[in-house]
Amino acid sequence: MVDNDTVMENGKCIECGAKEAEGLSCYEMFQFPLVWEHNDPRLYALHFWLVSCYMIQHPSNYTEEGYRLLVKLFSEAYDHNWDTSYILKKNRELASKVGKIVNPLPSGKRKRILRKWSMTIEDLYIGGEENAINGIKKWREALRADIDKQNKGSK
């Protein structure tokens, strides 16, 4: 199954490894917390983290330079505990220095590589709306640790 951003094979995303839940792809599961945000301003305040966690786990959506920028922004924002307005300001600064951020290839022609993640959108979705705030906070912590592990492994 292919949707806008993901390819599911044998019930798993071939990029992030999330398993289908209730017949939903990882992209479809991602839509739920985007809707949940509208019910709770405290959850909406974590929008950057929600979107970044999902997108970092789907690098095929970006050019190589765009992906590096996203990981750098995420890591620095996490490490320095930046507030959302500062994150958005830094994002605009960094994005202005990069040519293309989004992968221009059609979804079906993108190269996808499965990576191992401690937590995916599947975990957030299964936790439900009532646990979404804590789920996003756990996801960003797990993702930050995973990024460090991946960086150590590539050196």
The average confidence (pLDDT) of the chain is: 91
The model carries a pTM of 0.91
pLDDT at 5: 66
pLDDT of residue 77: 97
Return all residues near 108 (Cβ < 8 A) that are at least 6 apart: 2
Please write the tens of the pLDDT for every residue from 45-80: 999 999 999 999 999 999 899 999 999 999 999 999
What is the DSSP secondary structure assignment for residue 12, as one 8-state letter? E
> For residue 100, which phi and psi values (nearest 5 degrees)?
-95, 135
Q: Which amino acid is at 14?
A: I
SS3 track for 97-143: CCCCCECCCCHHHCCCCCCCCCCCHHHHHHHCHHHHHHHHHHHHHHH
Judge whether residue 1 has pLDDT over 50.
Answer: no
Tokens of 63: 């050019």
- The pLDDT tens digits of the residues spanning 3-35 come to 456 788 999 999 999 999 999 999 999 999 999
